[in-house]
Structures are given as C-alpha cells and as structure tokens.
Amino acid sequence: MREVVIVIRDLYLQEPPPAASSSSGVSPGAEAMPGIEHLARMGERAPLPAGWRTWIAEWLGLPQYGREAPASIAAAGLAHPPGGRGVWLATPLHWMAGLTGVHVDRRSLLHLSAAELEALAVSFRETFRGSGFDLHPLEDGELLLSGPPIAAPMKTTEPARLVLTAVAESLPSGEGSSSLRRLGAEIEMWLHDHSVNFGRAQRGAAAVAALWLWGGGLGLDSPAAAAKEITAAVFGSDAYVHGLLRLAGGEVRPIPVDWTAVLGESRAQRALGVVEVAELLHANASWGLSDALAEIDRRLISPSLAALRRGELERLLLVANDQCMRLRAADRWRLWRRMRPVRPGVEALT
C-alpha cells in the first residue's frame, strides 16, 4: 500500500503555554503515544486553513466537493437527499450549566442509536408541523435539518470546536441567522422532557440538551461528476465522508478491529480511517483525552508506522487540529532531528 491517512475528526486543541513543555518531552503519568511522538519528530507538518474536510475531498480526487458546505455533502448520503433545500448538520449535544452559562467538554458530542434518531425525526415532524423544517437521521448518529433555502451565508461553528470557545459566542450569526437561533431554542425546549431523554436517563446515558445547527448550505440537486474513480479504501462513520463517497459511487466501511488487515489489503493503494475522540470517551467512562489518543495510537498509528518501517507502506499522514503531519519511508533516517518538547500525543498535535 502506498499511503495511509488517519483523521481525528473532532480533535481541536489550544496552543499550550511554554511552561507546559518539558525538556524530556515526557510528562509524569502521561499515556504513551509512541506513534504520534515519532510523527511529530520525524514528519513534515503543514497547516490546513480550509479544514480537514476540504483536504479529504481533494485527497480523494473530488476537489469540486471541497467547496461545498459540510451539510450539503452529508445530505448527499441520504437515500432521498433534500435537493435545493437549505440543510444544516444537527449534532446532538449534552452540555453542563454553569454560573454564567452553559459549557461543553469532549464528551458533549453525542451519537444516538438509529432508533433514537428515528424517534426524534418522527416527533419533530409532529411537533414542528408547518414550520417548513424537517429532521433526517444520518448514519453516524447525528441528524440533518432541512428547511427553506438559505438566502445568505451565515457563520456557524463546528460543535467539536466548542471546547475552545464559549457556547453563547458560537451561535449562528449573520444575515438570516435569527430564525435559525430561534429554532435552536425551540428545539431545546422540545428536547427537555422528550421520551428519548427519558429512555437515556433510565440507562444512565447523557441527555440530549440541544441539536447544534452548523455547516449549512444547499442540498445538491444534480451531483457533479467525480474527477476520477475512488481508488482508496475508506473507513469510519463520519456523515461528511459518507456523503463524499456516495457522490463518487464509493462506499465507507466500519474501521476494523485489526487495522493491520487494512494495511495488508492488496486491492487498494491508499487507505483513509476517520476516528473520533468523543466516541472513545463515551465507551470508556474513566478515560481522558490522553487515554483516547493513546488508544488511537495503539490501534491505528503505531501499526501503520510499523508497516512504514518494514517498507510495506510509503507514506503515513495524521490529520488533526487543522494540520497534517506526513511521514515518508525515507524520513525514518532523519536522525539529526531534535525531539520536539511534548506532552506525549497532546502537545505534539498543537
């Protein structure tokens, strides 16, 4: 295989203060992340000013879709896309109330079961009948909101970035945003005592406090032709990536338990794996960010790095935090490079 790309889709970090670094690059009690540390030391780093989604569209040979809104691409993954209508991603969020407002953490992003998504979609149609809006379940545990066509672009914030900013400062803004903000507030009230949340409370799951509306655009009426046939094997459950592959006539598969099986595939020259920190945190109640990154390192990055060292892989790329780290097989000989001072895995990605 020529190339493997691993995307951590929800990892955004603050730049750590200089005092957080240590000369040894190791913090006491930190989880070991040898693959990420090696990439940070030996690899080439490049910023992704347009974000990972645009980069992935171009990497797949679909640059014409990289200019579309995230919701427009995600909508294309539906069996019956709402072409020509306004569309927004509607991410289920759990947030905590504080003295001055609400805030989120890395566990606030929720992925609901198919039954929960369908129950919310049916209930929304009944409660908001006549509003012109509708909810559609997505395969990654989120929802898509469709409604009247967007008259003008408005600024919205990806929910994974809310860990870096105040919720109140990240609400939709710009022309036409008042109606979307008003709908968001009505959805919060609708969710407050919803039967889906009652069921989640019964099993100890976090309540859905809101549907965060973002990434708005227009549903695609007539998809543009793919620039070329998709030759990469794509794995993950992201709605944007699923929509991209649907537009190009490809498919997305779940990430296998054994990533080495992907590395040994002879049918594909390239492979893409899209993972999420929040999913690992929900599955492991005692874990923190470092634990989740260490698991991604153990399952995906370190096995890919081992294949690179054996000469079975030409390039390994890690995409996270609006940047791309690339390591080529020949880069392993760059022994003169000094180790960047890092808290393993975390500071290396800032």
Percent over 90 (pLDDT), the chain: 72
Half-sphere exposure of 173 (CA within 13 A, CB side): 6
Predicted TM-score (pTM) above 0.85 = yes
> pLDDT at position 338, please?
52
Compute the distance between CA of residue 156 and CA of residue 215 in angstroms, rounded to an integer: 6
CA distance between the termini of the chain: 29
Which of these, 301, 312, 322, 290, lies nearest to 42 by C-alpha position?
301
Which of these, 68, 66, 90, 85, lies nearest to 150 by C-alpha position?
85
Q: Provide the residue ranges of all domains of the chain, joining segments of one domain with +.
A: 3-67+224-349, 70-218
Which of these, 192, 214, 241, lies nearest to 90 by C-alpha position?
214
Please name the amino acid found at residue 81: P
26: left (phi over 0), alpha (psi -120 to 50) or beta: beta
> pLDDT at position 223, please?
60
Residues lower than pLDDT 50 in the chain: 20-29, 335-336, 339, 341-342
Q: How is 8-31 classified by DSSP, letter by letter?
A: ETT---PPPPGGG--TTS--TTPP
> pLDDT at position 102, please?
83
Compute the distance between CA of residue 312 and CA of residue 268 in angstroms, rounded to an integer: 13
Which of these, 268, 276, 260, lies nearest to 230 by C-alpha position?
268
> pLDDT at position 16, please?
62
Token pair recorded at residue 32 = 């070991």
Which of these, 230, 194, 225, lies nearest to 112 by C-alpha position?
194
Q: Return the number of other C-beta atoms located less than 10 Å from residue 253's C-beta.
A: 13
Token pair recorded at residue 66 = 């990289």
> pLDDT at position 101, please?
76
- Phi and psi for 146 in degrees, rounded to 5? -115, 150
> Do 145 and 128 meet the contact criterion of CB atoms below 8 Å apart?
no
> Do 71 and 135 meet the contact criterion of CB atoms below 8 Å apart?
no
For the chain, what percentages of helix, strand and coil (3-state, to nearest 5) are there? 35, 20, 45
> Do 249 and 225 meet the contact criterion of CB atoms below 8 Å apart?
no
